[in-house]
Structure 1
């Protein structure tokens, strides 16, 4: 009998205090005025604006290969495409960078002070080209007219 009285007492306490306890737990949740937790998906920041202004689609990267204005100083990677009369330029700031992108009709790439690999889609298959340091390298149609116009889909610096 004593045990059942104790259990009944505990049940009453649980019922009385459950709204208070649930409020405390609810108060511990993230409020609406706080930003959500940061989860990195490597989406390129400002990609839509860059595409609208320059016509290059930047997709994902680790932040060590960044699109920049040509002539902005420093040693830059230059990518020449038939979509524009001026090159697209990239600044490499680390030894292990990558950037996925979609840039049609690339025919020439100039490396900077980093070892660089460029992946292009030639006739439906990915083809990786080594781009030497500070060297001009023909790519896609520029390497062989039979390749036709080929998009550049990835840049890698260093060994990943």
Structure 2
């Protein structure tokens, strides 16, 4: 009889704890009620936490550069950046009838930049090996840029003298 009484107490205690847990977890009873502040319940801290930082490799201040200089800088790896042509030597120079001279500083062992510069006709290389991808209408062309020398590209290298848009620059040390 004593064993049976002890078993019943154990089962009853287990059921009681289970029912209490079900009420708390299931939302029947709040374990720690949140007092109202200014007439509304406080928001959970997790709802107000910072979001995730996701790198999209978009070019910083691209909208401002487009508005001021008419150059569309899309995305890259950060190793080819727009530079003031008077700021340094060993810059990659892009010549365009629409934008005159545009310079880029190249760092690292490799670099990539996606952009749009219309009416490009020449590129002056720096100490890096470089390739530029250009388009005219549906046609795409790639040009190897000579190190530390002028390379005719786009309309100056085209038999028909068509306008070309610079689309990508890739560099390697």
When the two structures are superposed, what TM-score results if normalisation uses the length of structure 1? Answer: 0.83
Q: Does 1:31 align with 2:58?
A: no
Measure, in 2, the Cα distance between the counterparts of 1:4 and 1:117: 79
Alignment: residue pair count:
152
Match for 1:12 among 9, 12, 20?
20
Are the aligned partners of 1:122 and 1:147 in contact in 2 as well (CA < 8 Å)?
no
Shifted more, 142-151 versus 101-110: the winner is: 142-151
Residue pairs, 1:42-81, within 5 angstroms: 42-81=57-96
Structure 1 counterpart SS, 2:155: helix
When the two structures are superposed, what TM-score results if normalisation uses the length of structure 2? Answer: 0.78
Measure, in 2, the Cα distance between the counterparts of 1:5 and 1:154: 72
Match for 2:153 among 135, 139, 152?
139
Q: 1:14–1:133: structure 2 CA closer, same or farther, 3 Å change rule?
A: same
CA deviation map 1:102-122 (0-9, x unaligned):
111100001111000100013
After superposing on structure 2, the runs of 4+ consecutive aligned residues of structure 1 that deviate more than 3 Å are 1-5, 16-21
Larger radius of gyration: 2
Measure, in 2, the Cα distance between the counterparts of 1:145 and 1:105: 15
> 5+ unaligned residues in a row in structure 2: which ranges?
1-7, 35-43
Shift of 1:147: 4.7
